[in-house]
Structure 1
Amino acid sequence: MSLLVVGALHLDVVLRAPHLPALDETVAGSSVDYVFGGKGGNQAVAAARMGAEVAFAGRVGTDGFGVMIRDTLTASGVQLTQLQTDPGPSGMSAAIVDAQGEYGAVIVSAANLNIEADRVSIPPGTKLVLLQNEVPETVNLPVARRAKAAGAVVWLNAAPARTLPGALSDELDLMIVNRVEAAHYAGVDVPKLETLGADGVRYGGAHMTGFPVNVASTHGAGDMFAGALAAQVLDGHRIEDAIPFAQAAAALHVASPVPERANLTRNRVETFLRDQRR
């Protein structure tokens, strides 16, 4: 396998409403979607749809949400021999998307907190291991160490922001962060790629502008970017050269209604990118 993603899996309940509710306010919504999620799951699916060979390690429950999560990963071509099963519920989140496409969410980690790190191995041929902060550090650190011992590159999408042990930072080749996370990790001596939403990306001292699109929802945009970036790097591109493709994938993601996002392919991204460059 070229890419191993280790991380969280959620089934997101996405509600559409005119605005996010204030304290003690009830807002009448207009629709509800049940959407595959979790940063690890989203990034694995994004990388697979963008052409990477992907294996996933994580944990789901025995509930109906767990079945839906497995089905989505399988349909996307993600290899699941290291998907663990928990006797309790699967992880989930509830997100509210407003009329401008911005959102707020609540996450319940559930099975994701019970990943058994000693059952996660680095498949032969793995070139890159992608981690996130939605699972415990007791998972990320041993996996990162095994990855480096196997000769793989290790990226951490350091979201949500939390204290980063020096032992883990020593194993990292790249941190992918947003504005808030970049400020939190300002003193950490690891190369960083900072995503700025519609304002683009900062990496290696350079600022790369994004692609203007009409936003349907920003939910999951960062995960699409990370997965697409990994797929391009594994295809032989330098990070600097892979960033525009990842930005294009994220732009198409936010411009697409949630039910249509499963149809986003590498070919569509490449076509969009060519059109933008004309």
Structure 2
Amino acid sequence: MAGPIRVVGSLNMDLVVQVPHHPGPGETVLGSDYATYPGGKGANQAVAAARAGAQVEMWGAVGSDEFGRLLQENLEHNGVDTRHLRQLEGPSGLALITVDPGGQNRIVVSPGANGRYLPEHLPPFTPAALLLLQLEIPLPTVQAAAEQASAQGIPILLNPAPIVPLPGSLLRQVRYLVLNETEAAALAQSPVETPEQAQKVAQELQKHGIPAVILTLGGAGLVWADGEESGHWPAHPVEVVDTTAAGDGFCGALAACLAAGGSLREALRFANAAAALVVTRAGAQPSLPQRSEIEAFLASAVETA
């Protein structure tokens, strides 16, 4: 189907601190560098898709504060259509992020306006190439968007993060399910500690009626199952700086390639390269690569899939 990628999801301002190690209960840790970045899974994936060459709309909500203004301006600067972005009274979403020397992060999110974005705030759906969803907005809003998209034959890519119990009615509407090991283990109620276990879980999740299931495994790459084939794609060997937006970069690039008519295998190759570039840079949206960078990386990469 022709049209834009429609992202219905969250926008947060990320407050990021570099730490020698993540604090334990009751522990105070002296951090070093501090930075503020536009973020939120929805906005990150929208920017990732736009930088990967797609036409993108962002549907969601910001607050009536300075962060809200900055979040909207940032999307527009990145070429994302914000005509359907709502401003709701109160604070915008906020994420507190610590990043250790190995690039691993811990994140606490205060939903702000994202938590007040309800089904009645959704405009009527118009044609789109793909609907891209996450779970940082209320589940009823996610379900309402999925129902509208499904009724119009718009394929749905769901990234169920943060993971919550999901109704079968929602899963049956999803064309592409993209999740990490933690989310997959929670949804399937089965351990995901090796690529072999991940492959088994991907195939189990397909029994919900989902045509394609993709599990991202961090440094171990990804596995997928789509009914016709399944496989394991290793991660590209890169120097990891910050993993904060790896999943969002992957989802946005995957959506961009699929919306452009690429096959699932082509889209996975493209998204795997995008995620590799993301983790070599600090910050969420600042780390998201342009299409030209992804293509150049692929041209020089040694692949084993």
**TM-score, with normalisation over the residues of structure 2?**
0.87
Q: Larger deviation: 5-14 or 260-269?
A: 260-269
Matched, 1:99 2:101: yes
- Unaligned regions of 5+ residues in structure 1, if any? none
* Counterparts of 1:274 and 1:103, CA distance in 2: 30
Q: CA deviation at 1:118?
A: 2.7
* Counterparts of 2:123 and 2:71, CA distance in 1: 21
* Counterparts of 1:131 and 1:155, CA distance in 2: 6
The answer for the alignment partner of 1:224 in structure 2 is: 249
Report matched runs for 1:80-95 at 5 Å. 80-95=82-97
The answer for the alignment partner of 1:132 in structure 2 is: 134
Contact 1:60 1:91 in 2 (8 A): yes
Identify the match of residue 152 of structure 2 among 130, 137, 150. 150
Write out the 4+ residue segments of structure 1 that deviate beyond 6 Å after TM superposition: none
* Counterparts of 2:26 and 2:275, CA distance in 1: 34
- Unaligned regions of 5+ residues in structure 2, if any? 189-203
* Counterparts of 1:49 and 1:176, CA distance in 2: 20
* Counterparts of 2:75 and 2:39, CA distance in 1: 10
Contact 1:47 1:54 in 2 (8 A): yes
Identify the match of residue 65 of structure 1 among 59, 67, 70. 67
CA deviation map 1:173-221 (0-9, x unaligned): 1211111111222265123110001111110121011101101100111
Q: Secondary structure of 1:111's match?
A: helix
The answer for the alignment partner of 1:197 in structure 2 is: 218
Q: Secondary structure of 1:216's match?
A: coil
Aligned-residue sequence identity (percent) comes to 37
CA distance 1:195–1:260, shift in 2 (3 Å): closer
Matched, 1:207 2:207: no
* Counterparts of 1:263 and 1:143, CA distance in 2: 26
CA RMSD between the two structures: 1.7
Q: Larger deviation: 63-72 or 262-271?
A: 262-271
Q: Secondary structure of 2:6's match?
A: strand
CA deviation map 1:40-75 (0-9, x unaligned): 010001000100000011000011111111111000
For these two proteins, the number of residue pairs brought into alignment is 278
Q: Larger deviation: 115-124 or 142-151?
A: 115-124
Q: Secondary structure of 2:299's match?
A: helix
Contact 2:47 2:285 in 1 (8 A): no
**TM-score, with normalisation over the residues of structure 1?**
0.95
